Amino acid sequence: MSSSVSSQHDQVLVEENSFARILTLNRPKQLNALSFQMISRLLELFLAYEEDPNVKLVILKGKGRAFCAGGDVVAVVHDIWAGGWRAGANFFMKEFSLNYLMATYSKPQVSILNGIVMGGGNGVSMHGRFRVATENSVFAMPETALGLFPDVGASYFLSRLPGFFGEYVGLTGARLDGAEMLACGLATHFVPSAKLPMVEAALCDADSSDPVIISSIIDQYCEKPSLKEQTVYNRLDVIDRCFSQRTVEEILSALEREVVDQRDGWIFATIQTLKKASPTSLKISLRSIRVGRVQGVGACLAREYRMVCHVMRGEFSKDFFEGCRAILLDKDKNPKWEPSKLEHIADTTIDRYFSKVKDEDWEDLKPPTRSKFNLPPYVIAKL
């Protein structure tokens, strides 16, 4: 076995049970950040399991204190420096193809989110049929602080959260706990971590791909968690008033009016978070989530692939590389965004992120063909 194949197999552990396959993301020191090898291996396994009549469901979990902290962005940046923007585009092409496969999978995927689940980690879990949160879960889409935008199909799943909660989560990178994930619909179930081995054992004995049966099995171990007193989910009225505004500038103005009225520390902190983020990222993120409200999951991923290719090319802004430098590499946490102010970014510039890449060899995202599978109604609804 070649070293690269060995690496793929080491980074995703496979456990075969009677009717289930348990896949464990296995880079615990990197908080299971998704490498190109991991994504390729997951794609290979999910495609094979869909063809195998003996496999009824797939369980995905992470080793250590994270489910998955995101894509391995540092590796992507190094690849771009070494081989040009196409090296980064290849990573996202493969990742988004996996996201689409999971979103349209004909068998139930159960993701056990017992720990950190951020960025790309949400791409390999939120599109699956069942997402099990625990008291250890921490959700976030922190891309605007990195000069990126919520990708991996986030414009699909964030735009379908209650009210304008998705805009809030996507623009601010706010962290949510397991109870909040369940309340807003990011999680389908909440199971105390001590009961997870029992859930897995019961699922492995289930000779069924029927989502009603799978859900009822998980239900047996569920608890109804209490939202903490200071939960952001109790601020939905303020969030809806402010994050329903048409532009990022208007969202900030609405929040500043709320601060005057309420003297609220949470609102002030939200304003500061938005002011620290990349102005370009905020603008493309807001538009992406808004457009995502009226698109199916395939169209969302295809559009996000265009957007991420423009980000990798750095034609209109190099904020992604500056964000990675400041947050992940030098770690001075002091990125110098350019343009530095929202008002310096024209709508026509944002339009360009949503256009085809002008490169003769470039192609739009071509996700896996799904027509031959008998897709369940909950999948067809996403298309």
Asked if residue 2 has pLDDT above 70, the reply is no
Higher local confidence (pLDDT), 5 or 300: 300
Q: DSSP readout, 182-195?
A: HHHTS-SEE--GGG
User: Do residues 28 and 13 make contact, with C-beta atoms less than 8 angstroms apart?
Assistant: no
Distance CA 8, CA 266 (A): 43
Q: Is 166 a catalytic residue?
A: no
Judged on CB neighbours under 10 Å (0-12, 13-18, 19+), 207 is: exposed
Task: Identify the CA nearest to 59 among candidates 12, 9, 10, 4.
Answer: 12
Q: What is the pLDDT of residue 369?
A: 84
- Range of lowest pLDDT (2-11, 39-48, 150-159, 254-263): 2-11
Q: What is the pLDDT of residue 367?
A: 86
Q: What is the pLDDT of residue 374?
A: 80
Q: Which phi and psi angles does 163 have, rounded to 5°?
A: 55, -130
Q: Which two tokens stand for residue 92?
A: 């996202």
Stretch 208-225: mean pLDDT, rounded? 97
Q: Is 44 a catalytic residue?
A: no
Q: Which residues contact 7 (CB under 8 A, 6 or more apart)?
A: 37
Q: What is the pLDDT of residue 110?
A: 98
Q: Write the CA distances from 240 to 83, 164, 173, 246, integer angstroms.
A: 43, 5, 17, 12
Q: What is the pLDDT of residue 372?
A: 66
User: Do residues 91 and 71 make contact, with C-beta atoms less than 8 angstroms apart?
Assistant: yes
Reduced to 3 states (helix: H, G, I; strand: E, B; else coil), residue 65 is: coil
User: Do residues 91 and 320 make contact, with C-beta atoms less than 8 angstroms apart?
Assistant: no
| pLDDT tier at 273, thresholds 50, 70, 90 | very high
Q: Choosing from 72, 79, 95, 143, which is the catalytic residue?
A: 143
Identity of the amino acid at 268: F
Asked if residue 195 has pLDDT above 90, the reply is yes
Q: Is 223 a catalytic residue?
A: no
Task: Identify the CA nearest to 320 among candidates 172, 144, 169.
Answer: 144
Q: Which two tokens stand for residue 75?
A: 């590796």
Distance CA 221, CA 217 (A): 8
Q: Choosing from 70, 71, 292, 323, which is the catalytic residue?
A: 71
- The structure's pTM equals 0.96
Q: What is the pLDDT of residue 368?
A: 85
Q: Choosing from 79, 95, 151, 304, which is the catalytic residue?
A: 151
Q: Tell how far CA 132 is from the center of its chain.
A: 15
Q: Is 167 a catalytic residue?
A: no
Task: Identify the CA nearest to 159 among candidates 250, 285, 320.
Answer: 285
Asked if residue 1 has pLDDT above 70, the reply is no
> How much of the chain, in percent, has pLDDT values that exceed 70?
98
Domain boundaries, the chain: 12-358
Distance CA 41, CA 182 (A): 29
Q: Choosing from 88, 115, 120, 123, which is the catalytic residue?
A: 120
CATH number of 12-358, picked from 3.80.30.20, 3.40.50.300, 3.90.226.10, 3.30.950.10: 3.90.226.10
